[in-house]
Amino acid sequence: MEGLTDMAPLIEVKDLAFQYSAHRGNVFQNVSFTVEKGEMLTLLGPNGAGKSTLLNCIAGLASPTEGSVKLNGEPVESYSTRRLAKHIGYVRQHIAVTYGYTVREYLVMGAAPRIGMFSTPKEEDYERVEEAIVDLELQKLADRTVSHLSGGERQRVAVARSIVQNPEVILFDEPTSALDFGNQIRVMRTCKQLVERGYAVVMTTHNPDQPILLGGRVAMLNADGTLAVGDAETTLTSERLSELYGTELHLVYVDEVDRVACVSSKL
Amino acid sequence: MADDKPKKKKLFAEDVTIEGKKQVPLGIVLIGCGIVVIALAIASLCIGRYSVDLQTTVAILTSPFTGAETTWTPNDYNVIMNIRLPRVVGAFLVGAALALSGASYQGVFQNPLVSPDILGVSYGACVGAALSILLYMNTWQTQIFAFVGGLVTVFITVSIPKFMHRHSNVMMVLSGVIVGGFMSSILGLMKYVADPDTQLASIVYWQLGSIAKIDSDVLCYTAPVMIVAAVVLVAMRWRLNLISLGEEEARSLGVDLKRERNIIIIASTLLTASAVSIAGTIGWVGLIIPHVTRRIVGSDNKRLIPTVILVAAAFMILVDLFARNISGFEIPLGILTGLVGAPIFGYILVKQRDVD
Amino acid sequence: MPGVASGLTYEGNASAATVLPNSPGTAEEVEAAFGRKVPAWVAVALVVMLLVLVGISYAIGRFAVPVNELVSGVLTHFFRPELIDPASAAYSVEAERIDRVIFNIRGPRILLVCLVGAALACAGASYQGMFKNPLVSPDILGSSAGASMGACLAMLLNLPGFYIQVFAFVGGLAAVSLAVLLNRLVKYDPTLGLVLGGILVSSLFSSGTSFIKLVADSQDQLPTIQFWLMGSFNRVDSDDLLLAVVPLVVGFVILMIMSWRLNVLSFGDDEARAMGVNTRSTRLLVIFASTMLASVSVAVAGIIGYVGLVVPHLARAIVGPNYKVLLPTSMFVGAAFLLIIDNIARVAFAVEIPIGILTAIVGVPFFVVIFRNQMRGWK
């Protein structure tokens, strides 16, 4: 058993297809890719391409119409919700909290998969929370109410909760789409740090610049519902991006920052 | 757009935390509340049309344990032990049950505006209990009927917004108002077919909400059920935090949502039904007390739930004390909690705005 | 968020979906947006249906008047008054009996049932449009609870019928004003604050009612209050009718005049303001008129729930969302609905069942069935 889990990729998505209802057709189909331990994968695609649905399929929150998702060689359906949560963390785009939990109270909820149904967090769980607070420099926010935080602060708090949860892979659903430019960069930096610490990160975005910045692998979800996977440098080409977004885009090398950037032509 | 969505949802989010301040340790809060409850309970035992002085009361109360020699009249003993003590215990249990189920409903439905009475559960339980009175059933069966009535009601109330694909706090409140009103109408029908000489009076009187009838017999039947349900809810208090984050968040944190939600709803409904079956519909306690308590200990259910029990008990004992002593006749508790609860809720509503 | 507001699309029913354009700029465009033509036969059918129901109401129950006698009785009343004049030579005892039943016993009751049904439905439709919420009903702001308490107070003081109505109206108005005032203090979005304020005020006033019941004389006053609260047309007479007609008509007229604004309001506050509609005064006027309708209904017939909730949905299923058509349709359907219920209450059982109980028991299942087909339009 141990050998098997060592051999199998962390996440293996095979021939995945999804449709909401029969007459509306597939959102995506023939989607196959793998995510290895400690790897960064960016899911790139225009709005409505089904990126979030794909993440939900991986997280076991949505059932694919066809195909399979395997986690450590076992189908995700065979995992209980609790066991799945020990392996997969999920950071959502909008974090709406109905009650006025403080950041500390919110963070300790990350420990839920390891806490019994009739139990409450122990001392060591709170210690993990303090570590995560230091990790993500949340000291100033720690006693504030989550629902009073700004979008960027909330995003960081959600990441910290995932660290408390300590899964193998953290899924990010459009973490940057609601943030201003500075916060977008900060979130991506956090993602990169997570990968450096050994977490696998799967992040969705509709901004083609981000996979280039992040490095790692990119999976491009095309408008026709198919997927192209590979390294950012080889997979992303001006032609493919232009076709994907239906507008003229160019990949240009920018001297000052020593990297390739995606820019549009004049309007 | 960034903050638009959460803000929209937050319109009546209960955002109370003691922001920036260090929280008072839970133990101290509980001890403080416990002292208040005990003080009020003893006051409630002493005060009344037939008043008993403090020393005598304490002596009578402790006599089963100390075996102290009798320095009181049999009348004193009777009033304290057989009339007022069951009543105070009843007030404690009913208040705690309503507020505890209120706080649990608020967590499980992610909606700070719900409570046993707003969801209509109290009225549904009332219908069940009234039915059992019509069928001349005993206390035990009344409780089962009340529970089934409450469970059916909570199911209908929650289904209406789901059915309409419009999930918002207001929709659930409105749905509860409609279903509750419906249940009251059915109750009206039952009153109509009830035997006016025997059953009608007992239904009407008990529906208004009173704990005057509580005796040790009734307590023996209901208290164990309430305690079991309360223990379950207290044990699961931290799960309420997780569930209150919403369906998807809870699931990705490993919560077995269906099972845990069902357990909590059943336990809460059981508490409400038990409270209703011994004391009728007493409104507002289940809504107000959790809100007031959040102002004391914050929103974390780990701290909130135990505190709610004591605060509600204190409130209920106090209200009962007033109900007995404020005028020549006894005022039904439901009326008093309405007159006190509605203004408090208004105050919270107005105050809430300042917090945002 | 104008996007959300204008995304509100009503659909008459599943087959005829009308998607509103995003930004109506002018009155014409609003008209066009709601431009589902309602065939004339619908109006005719509604009127005929109501007339048939009136005929049936006369023909059943105690003092039944079959249709032929009804027609001849009405003709007699207006064209041969000598038949019913005891002083004249042509006086017929039988004709006078029928005339009394038609105009003094059954007539006021039927008319009042129709008026109250129409009032509740009309107020309900207006509220649902104003709050943009399918679950609100005319008593959501506490008008029924307030009116009940007022009326109970009058009964406690042994005041005559006229004062019961006045007290009921004042009570209803006071409750609603309190709810509106609370909403002003709270300054939430209009729907949530008003709804919460209404629930709060309702509860407060029903506590008051309970208190009145408590101090009422249990031999004499309590049964009267108790029975009256459950709703009944059992004891209405032509005096009640006269008292109720004026405020009801005023309420109807105000809401009819506001119907266009209700159409505009359904696009959302921002759009409405952009079109020059004063949303605040519109709201206050609609609230005032609806309160008047609801309170008068309570004053004459006690609490009758669910008519204002269910009937507008039924009407919307028939004629679609245009308030200019929807309000009159709601009135007709409401009148017909309550007339049927009142007949059941009167005839179906040995003793008369309180009508408030029946409307709830008939109304709620009805409500669920209608929603099956209607709900898509409210998303």
Chains A and B form CB pairs within 8 A to the count of 128
Rounded Cα–Cα distance for residues A47 and A37 (Å): 28
A94 and B5 within 8 Å at the Cβ level: the answer is yes
Assign C216 to helix, strand or coil. Answer: coil
Which has more pLDDT, B19 or B221?
B221
Q: Do C204 and B339 count as a contact with CB atoms less than 8 A apart?
A: yes
Nearest CB among B175, B185, B283 relative to C203 is that of B283
pLDDT at C15: 30
Burial group, residue B220, by CB count within 10 angstroms (0-12, 13-18, 19+): exposed
Put simply, whether C361 touches B (Cβ < 8 Å) is yes
Classify the phi-psi angles of A137: left when phi > 0, otherwise alpha if psi is within -120 to 50, otherwise beta: left
Within a domain: B220:
yes
The whole-angstrom distance between B78's CA and the closest CA on chain C is: 29
Q: How many angstroms separate the CA atoms of B254 and A199, rounded?
A: 19
Selecting from C186, C206, C359 the residue whose C-beta is nearest the C-beta of B350 gives: C186
- At C242, which CATH number? 1.10.3470.10
Q: Which of C187, C193, C309 lies nearest to residue B178, judging by beta carbons?
A: C309
List B residues 21-80 in contact with A (Cβ-Cβ < 8 A): 21-22
Which residue, among A219, A196, A199, A210, has the nearest Cα to A41 in the 3D structure? Answer: A219
Subunits in contact with chain A (3 or more CB pairs closer than 8 Å): B
CA dist B151 and B146 (Å) reads 9
- The answer to whether residues A249 and A263 touch, using CB atoms and an 8 Å cutoff, is yes
Q: Which residue range forms the structural domain that includes residue B174? A: 89-355
Write down the pLDDT at residue A202: 95
For residue A165, the model assigns a pLDDT of 95
Per the domain annotation, does B104 fall within a domain?
yes
Name which of B115, B269, B276, B126 is nearest B186 in CA terms: B126
More confident residue, C191 or A167: A167
Question: CB distance from B302 to chain A under 8 Å?
Answer: yes
Residue B231 lies in a domain: yes
What pLDDT band is residue B22 in, cutting at 50, 70 and 90? low
Q: In CATH terms, is domain A2-236 a member of 3.40.50.300?
A: yes
| DSSP-assigned states of every residue in B27-61 | HHHHHHHHHHHHHHHHHHHH-SSS---HHHHHHHH
Q: What are chain C's partners, defined as 3 or more CB pairs within 8 angstroms?
A: B
Interhelix angle B257-279/B121-134, rounded to 10 degrees, is: 50
CB B332 to CB C191 under 8 A?
no
| Pairwise CA distance, residues B282 & B331, whole Å | 12
In chain A, where the domains are located: 2-236, 237-267
Is 0.90 surpassed by the pTM of this model? no
Confidence of residue B34 (pLDDT cuts 50, 70, 90): very high
Distance from CA of B188 to the nearest CA of C (A): 7
Contact C360 B283 (CB under 8 A): no
Per-residue pLDDT of chain C (379 residues; tens, 9 = 90+): 333 333 333 333 333 333 343 444 455 655 665 656 677 888 899 999 999 999 999 998 888 888 888 988 888 888 888 888 888 888 888 888 888 888 888 889 999 999 999 999 999 999 988 888 888 888 888 999 999 999 999 999 988 878 888 898 899 989 999 988 888 776 656 677 788 888 889 989 988 998 898 888 878 888 888 878 888 788 777 878 888 898 899 999 999 999 988 888 877 788 888 888 888 888 889 999 998 899 889 888 888 989 999 999 999 888 888 898 999 999 999 999 999 999 998 888 877 888 888 898 888 888 777 776 655 554 4
Per the structure, the count of domains in chain B is: 1
DSSP 8-state secondary structure symbol assigned to residue C341: H
Q: What angle do CA A23, A25, A29 make, to 5 degrees?
A: 155
- Cα C40 off chain centre by: 24
Q: Is the complex ipTM more than 0.85?
A: yes
Return the CA Rg of chain A.
19
pLDDT value of residue A91: 93
The reply to whether C349 falls in a domain is yes
> Could you tell me the residue range of the domain that residue C198 belongs to?
110-378
pLDDT 10s digits, B235-285: 999 999 999 999 889 999 999 999 999 999 999 999 999 999 888 889 899
Name beta bridge partners: A13. Answer: A33, A69
Number of domains in chain C: 1
- Mutation site for B-interface testing, chosen from C128, C135, C194, C304 by largest number of B Cβ within 10 Å: C135
Q: Is-contact C113 C342, C-beta < 8 A?
A: yes
pLDDT score of C27: 57
Q: How far apart are CA B38 and CA B53, in angstroms?
A: 16
Contact B339 C207 (CB under 8 A): yes
What is d(CA B95, CA B212) in angstroms, rounded to the nearest whole number? 14
Contact C205/B at CB under 8 A = no
Q: Out of B15, B236, B244, whose CB is closest to A117?
A: B236
- CB distance B238–A121 less than 8 Å? yes
Contact call for residues C129 and C108 (beta carbons, < 8 A): no
- Please give the interface size between B and C, counted as residue pairs whose CB atoms are below 8 Å apart: 120
Cβ separation of C379 and B4 shorter than 8 Å? no
Q: Is B253 on the interface with A (CB under 8 A)?
A: yes
Q: What is the pLDDT of residue C331?
A: 96
Digit-coded pLDDT (tens) for B81-134: 888 999 999 999 999 999 999 999 999 998 888 999 999 999 999 999 999 988
Residue B141 lies in a domain: yes
Mean pLDDT of the region A202-219: 91
- Across the interface, of C195, C203, C353, the residue whose CB is closest to B173 is C195
Q: What is the mean pLDDT of chain B?
A: 86
Distance of alpha carbon C15 from alpha carbon B173, whole angstroms: 31
Provide the CATH number for the domain around residue B170: 1.10.3470.10
Token code pair at residue A6 = 């060592």
> C266 and C10 in contact (C-beta within 8 Å)?
yes
